[in-house]
Amino acid sequence: MERALKLVAALLPIAFAFAFLVPVFDQGMQALGINAPFGLSTLTLAVIIGGGWGLVAQVTGRWI
Amino acid sequence: MNAQKPIIPADLSQMSDRELRKLELSIARKYSGQVPWIAVIWAFGNLACWLSLWPLVFLNILPLWAAFPIATINMALVYLPTHEAQHDIIARPGTKLRWLNELVGHATSWMLLMPFQVLRVSHLDHHRHTNDPELDVDITSSASGPWHAIWNAVQGRQPNAKRNQDYLASLTRNGREDLIVLSLLYRIGFIAILGTLAWNGFAMEALLLWWLPYQIAITYIVFFLSWAPHHPATHQTRYTNTRSWKSAVGNIGSMGMQFHIVHHLHPYIPLHLTPAAYREMRPILEARGCRLGEI
């Protein structure tokens, strides 16, 4: 149980990124009328930006 | 308030430590013992206001841009009523209204993603170990100046922040490891709620009604409740570990923290009575060598 909780706690940054940051970027770009470059969809770009940021936070332990 | 105004001698320099203490306590008791209904109304009024923003925005009655600053103010106002409850100021254990004290604490602290008991245990630990570099859970808010304090407040919310470890250590030290799991469940619950809203098309609403207001409010709360009244956070004695100070944004803008020294000396005095208690106690605090600002 303790190990499972520690694992969940350790994965919170990446979970936050995919649960929240990705749709925030996606819907934020749509609301502001920003198109993704290279023919990408806003969701794909959001996954790249939000997921990438979450991965960095997961590895370094810092969002900023 | 409980009693008549104690008579403070013109010259306190001749008074013994015990006499000063007795006089100080007589003033403190005068401002304690009543239910601070203002904190109760504040707690539930603020909660109701914030909760009402959600349907108002979802039903397009209130635009999101207008709801965002209201939500931010709501978030900033959450902490002080729960702080009164942490100190049992609304009702002490064993009294008739004890349930109300606990209800205020539990009903509001979740908005700040912290279980009430975690806030209580860690905050009382802060009072026991104020400015202790090893044991004060709020020591990471110490900073050289206001901009540094804001930056530290942001850094204190990073996944690997020392502040997180300090809070865990406080819970462990107080034999409340059970609250660590509860804290984690609050975090998971928060992400689950944000995620559910966001993946159902309400990401902007979740962002501007909860996540961003929370971030701004916590920075504001740490700045005014933790950094400013303890700055420079190097004094550890009872009469010097907190100070009075003149805030550029006034007493309301700084959430009553200009008189935080009274709270640390007598944590059973309700927030709204600390200015009056401070003014009456000031000559004693001067005689004690307290760090008093131009107020």
Within 13 Å and on the Cβ side, how many CA atoms surround B50? 25
Using a CB-CB distance cutoff of 8 angstroms, which residues of chain B are in contact with residue A50? none
- The residue ranges of every structural domain in chain A are 2-60
- Beta carbons within 10 angstroms of residue B2's beta carbon: 11
Interchain proximity A24–B204, CB inside 8 Å: yes
Interchain proximity B195–A5, CB inside 8 Å: no
Using a CB-CB distance cutoff of 8 angstroms, which residues of chain A are in contact with residue B172? none
Least Cα distance to A29 among B61, B190, A21 occurs for A21
Give dist(CA B274, CA B31) in Å, integer: 8
Give dist(CA B254, CA B46) in Å, integer: 18
Q: Is A59 on the interface with B (CB under 8 A)?
A: no
User: CA–CA distance from B36 to each of B46, B81, B99, B203, B279 (Å)?
Assistant: 16, 10, 14, 38, 19
User: CA–CA distance from B21 to each of B24, B36, B267 (Å)?
Assistant: 5, 25, 15
- Measured N-to-C along each axis, helices B37-58 and B64-86 cross at an angle, to the nearest 10 degrees, of 150
Q: Which residue has tokens 């602290």?
A: B109
**pLDDT, tens digit (0-9, with 9 covering 90-100), for B140-163:** 999 999 999 999 999 999 999 999
Interchain proximity B191–A12, CB inside 8 Å: yes
Span between the terminal Cα atoms of chain B, in Å: 23
Tell me the nearest-neighbour CA distance from A24 into chain B, angstroms.
Answer: 5
* Count of A-B CB contacts under 8 Å: 59
Nearest to A20 among B154, B187, B198 (CB): B198
> Could you write out the three-class secondary structure of B110-172?
HHHCCCHHHHHHHHHHHHHCCCCCCCCCCHHHCCCCHHHHHHHHHHCCCCCCHHHHHHHHHHH
Q: Give me B70's structure tokens.
A: 């209201």
Span between the terminal Cα atoms of chain A, in Å: 31
**pLDDT, tens digit (0-9, with 9 covering 90-100), for B58-80:** 999 999 999 999 999 999 999 99
State ipTM: 0.95
Question: Residues B257-281: what's their mean pLDDT?
Answer: 97
- Beta carbons within 10 angstroms of residue A3's beta carbon: 7
**pLDDT, tens digit (0-9, with 9 covering 90-100), for A20-37:** 999 999 999 999 999 999
Using a CB-CB distance cutoff of 8 angstroms, which residues of chain A are in contact with residue B198? 19-20, 22-24, 27
Q: How confident is the model at residue A60 (pLDDT cuts 50, 70, 90)?
A: very high
Nearest to A8 among B188, B204, B211 (CB): B188
Q: How confident is the model at residue B131 (pLDDT cuts 50, 70, 90)?
A: very high
- Residue A1: the pLDDT is 72
Helix (H) or strand (E) holding B64: helix B64-86
Q: Give me B247's structure tokens.
A: 């805030």
Question: Residues B256-283: what's their mean pLDDT?
Answer: 97
**pLDDT, tens digit (0-9, with 9 covering 90-100), for B243-263:** 999 999 999 999 999 999 999
Interchain proximity B158–A63, CB inside 8 Å: yes
Interchain proximity A28–B204, CB inside 8 Å: yes
Q: Give me B141's structure tokens.
A: 């808010």
Question: Residues B103-109: what's their mean pLDDT?
Answer: 96
- Residue B12: the pLDDT is 85
Q: What is the average pLDDT score of chain B?
A: 96
- Residue B11: the pLDDT is 81
B5 pLDDT higher than 80 = no
User: CA–CA distance from B32 to each of B7, B39, B89, B99, B275 (Å)?
Assistant: 18, 14, 8, 19, 13
Question: Residues B4-24: what's their mean pLDDT?
Answer: 84
Main-chain phi, psi angles of B291, to 5 degrees = -90, 100
The answer to whether the peptide bond before residue B232 is cis (omega within 30 degrees of 0) is yes
Question: Residues B272-292: what's their mean pLDDT?
Answer: 96
Interchain proximity A63–B203, CB inside 8 Å: no
CB B179 within 8 A of CB B117: yes
Main-chain phi, psi angles of B243, to 5 degrees = -135, 165
Tell me the nearest-neighbour CA distance from A38 into chain B, angstroms.
Answer: 24
Give dist(CA B201, CA B271) in Å, integer: 41
Give dist(CA A1, CA A9) in Å, integer: 12
- For chain B, what's the residue count? 295
- Residue B2: the pLDDT is 56
CB B204 within 8 A of CB B64: yes
**pLDDT, tens digit (0-9, with 9 covering 90-100), for B207-241:** 999 999 999 999 999 999 999 999 999 999 999 99
Tell me the nearest-neighbour CA distance from B199 into chain A, angstroms.
Answer: 6
Which stretch of A10-14, B13-17, B97-101 has the lowest confidence by average pLDDT?
Answer: B13-17
Percent of chain B at pLDDT > 70 equals: 98
Interchain proximity B159–A12, CB inside 8 Å: yes
Interchain proximity A62–B201, CB inside 8 Å: no
pTM: 0.94
Nearest to A24 among B158, B184, B203 (CB): B203
